[in-house]
Copies of this chain bind each other. A is one copy, B any other.
């Protein structure tokens, strides 16, 4: 490495994250250059509307409306793709990789939709594609799994991967409020999008989990294999019952590797309140990696926002500038695991079921008969409040059982005419 080496960087997208990266470089360039022993030059940034004002001052000569011009600029060796989505972001990425450039991205949706194509393009042309910012924002999680914990096999890796959902669930618990009210507040505060479905329906967490599972198990990304259920149906009542039973409700992404194969699922979980992950509140993300050598490691931090994401993007840039790289999934392409995906119907675990039933004799007998007929054994039952002839909540906690049996039992239970609403089913997860 000589002092004369210059690294040209181009940004595609100058939204919150792009501005964070730009600002970071402006402020830390001397320190970064001395750490790297190389000159860093931010050559150009592509934006949708070059004349719009922004939170960072970028000389107009460095702004362009043409992302492809940045991706193909011969003076740029590293392209940061911060546009998002799977349209122009994919084109820009492939164009840069086709020229042997390096692409740094925070775009989890792109990796899930076009990962195979992108990684193949990087390999073919001798470029690289880095994506530390795509999972758990500022937490250096991908580096930890792929490098720091590389010696381990992971029977299970799971985490809180969406800060919006964790914020909503935390507020619901702390304030005893309903989902819709808390969501509305979160939207006002900017913690949730105007169209929040991507977050609250679990899609964002599923994107991240698909990438995390690929990293942990050394296999290609399999987004379609992820079972996804969001938090819309979690009610204040369920959160109160969870507390009473010694649990917290968290939206977890869980990847586990058993003899049957790889199970990946995103859904609300009851976790014991003493589990470290149960105490991760607000917008924070956390991932627990259970390594066979290292034991339980938990990494906690901010999963979104300009600062944390820029921190991850810059870490990738510095790895690249130092010629430090790792095979995409921690393994060479021909050494990827071929373990099959296990469908959700084969999931095995304990369940929480909350019913609203008419308060009259014989109801519980019908419900428990349905469970018995599907081979499901009960661990406990809770009924709160008496109100003869009216709907009252009844909570059942089962021992470990198979998801398919549970669904059949719940279908039968929900068809009982004493059961007033669709039953709420929340899986219980060991912490």
Question: Interface on A for B, CB 8 Å cutoff?
Answer: 20, 24, 28, 32, 34-35, 37, 132, 138-140, 143-144, 147-153, 218, 276, 279-280, 291-302, 305, 307-308, 310-312, 314-315, 318-319, 322, 324-327, 330-332, 335
Contact = CB atoms under 8 A, between A and B. Distances in A.
Contacts of A322: 326
Contact of A307 (B24, B276, B293): B293
Contact of A148 (B132, B291, B295): B132
8 contacts: A140-B143, A144-B148, A276-B300, A292-B307, A293-B311, A294-B307, A295-B305, A295-B308
Given A295-B302, A295-B308, 4 more contacts: A151-B314, A297-B301, A299-B300, A324-B325
Given A301-B294, A301-B297, A24 B144 contact: no
Nearest to A301: B297
Most interface-central of A37, A138, A324 (chain B CB within 10 A): A138
A133 to B, nearest CB: 11
Contacts of A311: 149, 151-152, 291, 293-294
Given A35-B331, A315-B147, A301 B293 contact: no
Contacts of A331: 34-35
A183 to B, nearest CB: 24
A147 B324 CA distance: 10
Contacts of A335: 34-35
A218 B32 CA distance: 12
Contacts of A218: 35
Contacts of A138: 149, 291, 293-295, 297
Nearest to A298: B300
Contacts of A280: 276
Contacts of A301: 294-298
Contacts of A302: 294-297
Contact of A140 (B147, B315, B318): B147
Contacts of A28: 151, 153
A279 B314 CA distance: 31
A146 to B, nearest CB: 10
Nearest to A302: B295
Contacts of A34: 331-332, 335
Given A34-B335, A297-B300, A144 B147 contact: no
Nearest to A288: B300
Nearest to A1: B332
A295 B283 CA distance: 12
Contacts of A147: 140, 143, 315, 318-319, 324
